[in-house]
Amino acid sequence: MHCPFCKNEDTRVVDSRVADEGQAIRRRRSCSECGRRFTTVESAVLAVVKRNGVTEPFSREKVMLGVRRACQGRQVDEDSLRQLAQQVEDSVRASGSAEIPSNEVGLAILQPLRELDEVAYLRFASVYRSFESVEDFQREIDDLRALPSRAANAHATVGSAAEGVDRP
Ligand SMILES: [Zn+2]
């Protein structure tokens, strides 16, 4: 690859090390023309296999897009979304395979989203798991409440959602 500073095509690798727990190789390169150094990262392309069999590269942006929709009207900032997308990527990459079915990406979103915002989680889960009745929601809510550490949080969420309704 060419030097990003002077565009000279002759660069050499001066150092090479495994990064991200073996998922990437980081190379330190030196330009023979201008002498400047830069780093490249090499990692396997993670492909998502859609239900119709078509594959596309995994995209954190797409994860954020789907989750952002579920978070509409909620107090979830972009940093949290970015962090969640990173968590999702880490967990699908951790499976070690180069191709991931799209439904596994959905599954990987559910857990961190549940910790981020319970209302957004319910919305996302209702679409993703095709909730068909109030009972499906009830079961999921009971499940959320059954977690002792998050029970207080669930009440706070319901409270603030109700306040939101009253506001003009
Ligand atoms: Zn150069």
Q: How far is the CA of 77 from the centre of ligand 1 (A)?
A: 39
pLDDT greater than 90 at residue 157:
no
**pLDDT tens digit sequence for 81-106:** 999 999 999 899 888 788 999 988 99
* Arithmetic mean of pLDDT, 127-139: 82
Q: How far is the CA of 2 from the centre of ligand 1 (A)?
A: 8
Cβ atoms within 10 A of the Cβ of 64, count? 18
- In angstroms, the Cα distances linking 3 to 6, 34, 36, 158 are 6, 9, 8, 55
CA dihedral (74, 128, 140, 99) in degrees, to 10, reads -100
Q: How far is the CA of 109 from the centre of ligand 1 (A)?
A: 42
Residue the block writes with tokens 């889960």: 125
Q: What is the pLDDT of residue 148?
A: 54
Which residues are found with C-beta within 5 Å of the ion, ligand 1?
3, 5-6, 8, 31, 33-34
Residue the block writes with tokens 């909730």: 131
More confident site: 114 or 166: 114
Q: How far is the CA of 43 from the centre of ligand 1 (A)?
A: 24
Cα 26 to chain center, whole Å?
A: 22
Q: How far is the CA of 32 from the centre of ligand 1 (A)?
A: 7
Cβ atoms within 10 A of the Cβ of 45, count? 9
Q: What is the pLDDT of residue 165?
A: 45
**pLDDT tens digit sequence for 44-85:** 888 999 989 999 999 999 999 999 999 999 999 999 999 999
Q: How far is the CA of 90 from the centre of ligand 1 (A)?
A: 34
pLDDT greater than 60 at residue 167:
no
Q: How far is the CA of 40 from the centre of ligand 1 (A)?
A: 14
Q: How far is the CA of 79 from the centre of ligand 1 (A)?
A: 35
The band of 155, judged by pLDDT with boundaries at 50, 70 and 90, is very low
Rg for the chain, CA atoms, rounded: 22
pTM, two decimals, is 0.64
Cβ atoms within 10 A of the Cβ of 125, count? 21
Q: What does DSSP say about strands 11-19 and 24-31: parallel, antiparallel, or unpaired?
A: antiparallel
Q: How far is the CA of 148 from the centre of ligand 1 (A)?
A: 58
**pLDDT tens digit sequence for 11-53:** 999 999 998 778 789 999 999 999 999 999 998 888 999 989 9
